[in-house]
Amino acid sequence: MEFLKVDSLDSARAKLFAHAKDILGGEEVIPAAQALERVTARDLHANDDIPGFRRSTVDGYAVLCADTAGAGESIPVFLTLKGRVEMGETADFSIAGGEAGEVFTGGMLPAGADGVVMVEYTQPFGENGIAVNQSVAYGENMVLPGEDMCAGQILLKRGKQILPQDIGGLAAAGITSLPVYATPKVTILSTGDELVPPDQTPAPGKIRDINTYALSALAIKHGLVVVNTAVLPDEWDAIEGAVRAGMESGDIVIVSGGSSKGKKDMTRAIFDHVSTPGVFTHGIAVKPGKPTILGADSVSRTLLVGLPGHPVSAMMVFELLIGWLLREAAGKPAPPAIPARIDCNLASSPGKLTCWPCSLREEGGQYIATPIFGKSGLITTLTGADGYLIAPRDLEGLQAGQSVMVHPL
């Protein structure tokens, strides 16, 4: 229980990442059809050229482009129809000068063709011919083998969060299962003698528990599996038992509350008691979030996280540390922050990063961010927020009209 100095956010993140390396980062192989929003654990390569043959991108006629040179409305070119390529079939004929083959969108081109004229620019002519009234450039209205993807090409990089279009790309490439990062399992404990379940009307002095609900939802949003939640009194044995159970059953144990002086630093003492090497960060220079505790146990391979009891502070620290860690461990980029101008002055806390929840509105292609003021215990400062901005610790504050980046919530 040596005294630990308050860490900067960067320093807390660096320590957390170093301890998490052996704990997170496991892989599992899952079906591509179930991979939406999971994160690729390796680079994925195309196995074949896609498409595997020359395809038309329109309904029309495969031709030799040279035959159509100079064709126009008033001077059509006449070609002999050699056959038709049915959808899904091999072209069983080839064409030579003066000939054409009917093709449909996505269908295979007959050998000899080097372009496709759209049906709109043709007319039937005679018994077995067409009149073409537009010239076609070399390679026009067709796709070459490998033009979508080439064998060996990287289709999705490691750390890619899989979107619907990526699932399409995997199907195209014939990749039906893939390695993704395993989903970390988390236990969420909310501590405090003042807490009652949300379905009860709290007696004076008591309040409804928010954190097991809000932090579980946040964990799910960040791709974690919540294995257990509990609301506990400020009693050592109850908390120690629940932390130990969480260490057995998962990868991360979160305890909110219990870390301010009123709770006599019990969370920190329990973390140190049950884990090796134990607590490595106690306090971060972030407002809100100072009483944050970070620890690790190398035996059960668990991260131990003590969050402030205030729901808004707890959620902000979760975003800044656990949300960040999950992206960083997977090599996944952050969701794009939104450039905006703030519409009022904002004071900073000297020596601390300050997180401000804010709402966003669009005005003429620009976003205006309105910080939401409110004391740190008020959940409604966050229910109205579209995101948050971070005022750096080395600034006196932010001026109305200044450009900021708003991180979506």
Residues of span 244-303 touching a copy of itself by CB under 8 A: 260-263
Instruction: State in angstroms the smallest separation of the CB of 119 from a copy of itself.
Output: 6
CA distance 139 to 109: 11
Q: With respect to a copy of itself, which residue has the nearer C-beta, 148 or 343?
A: 148
Please answer whether residues 107 and 55 qualify as being in contact, where contact means their C-beta atoms are separated by less than 8 angstroms. yes
- Tell me: does residue 234 bind a copy of itself (CB under 8 A): yes
In the complex with a copy of itself, the residue whose CB is nearer, 192 or 371, is: 192
Q: Does 30 bind a copy of itself (CB under 8 A)?
A: no
Binding to a copy of itself by CB under 8 A, coded x per residue (else -) over 169-198, reads xxxxxxxx---------------xxxx--x
Residues between 65 and 84 that touch a copy of itself (CB under 8 A): none
Strands 403-408 and 387-391: antiparallel
Q: Is 15 left (phi over 0), alpha (psi -120 to 50) or beta?
A: alpha
C-beta closer to a copy of itself: residue 63 or 170: 170
d(CA 16, CA 328): 11
Contact status: 370 vs a copy of itself (CB under 8 A): no
Per CB under 8 A, the list member of 6, 30, 65, 119 interacting with a copy of itself is: 119
Which position among 72, 126, 377, 401 is part of the footprint of a copy of itself (CB under 8 A)? 377
Nearest approach, Cβ of residue 299 and a copy of itself (Å) = 31
Q: Give CA–CA dist 104/203, Å, rounded.
A: 73
228 token code pair = 């257990």
Of the pair 23, 358, the CB lying nearest a copy of itself is at 358
DSSP 219-254: HHHTT-EEEEEEEE-S-HHHHHHHHHHHHHH-SEEE
Binder among 2, 73, 90, 299 for a copy of itself (CB under 8 A):
90
Strands in 87-220 per DSSP E: 99-103, 115-118, 122-125, 129-132, 142-143, 154-156, 177-181, 185-191, 195-196, 207-208
| Candidate list 74, 75, 164, 394; residue touching a copy of itself; CB under 8 A | 164
User: Cα-flanking dihedrals φ and ψ of residue 319, to 5°?
Assistant: -60, -50
How many residues are recorded in the chain? 409
Distances 6 to 275, 277, 281, 377 between C-alpha atoms, Å: 21, 18, 7, 22
Return the residue of 339, 392, 397, 401 that touches a copy of itself, per CB under 8 A.
339
- Out of 10, 366, 400, 401, the only residue in the binding site for a copy of itself (CB under 8 A) is 366
Q: What residues between 340 and 359 interact with a copy of itself by CB under 8 A?
A: none
Q: 79: number of CA atoms within 13 Å, CB side?
A: 35
> Cβ closer to a copy of itself: 95 or 312?
312
The nearest distance, CB 195 to a copy of itself, in angstroms, is 7
Minimum CB distance to a copy of itself, residue 183 (Å): 16
Closest to a copy of itself by CB, 22 vs 89, is 89
Please give the size of the binding site for a copy of itself, defined by CB under 8 A: 103
Q: Which of 43, 89, 237, 248 binds a copy of itself (CB under 8 A)?
A: 89
Kindly tell me which residue out of 75, 204, 299, 396 binds a copy of itself, with binding defined by CB under 8 A.
Answer: 204
Element (H, E) at 56: strand 55-56
Q: How far is the CB of 202 from a copy of itself (least distance, A)?
A: 6
Residue 233 · residue 196 · CB < 8 Å: no
* Inter-helix orientation angle 236-249/266-274, to 10°: 50
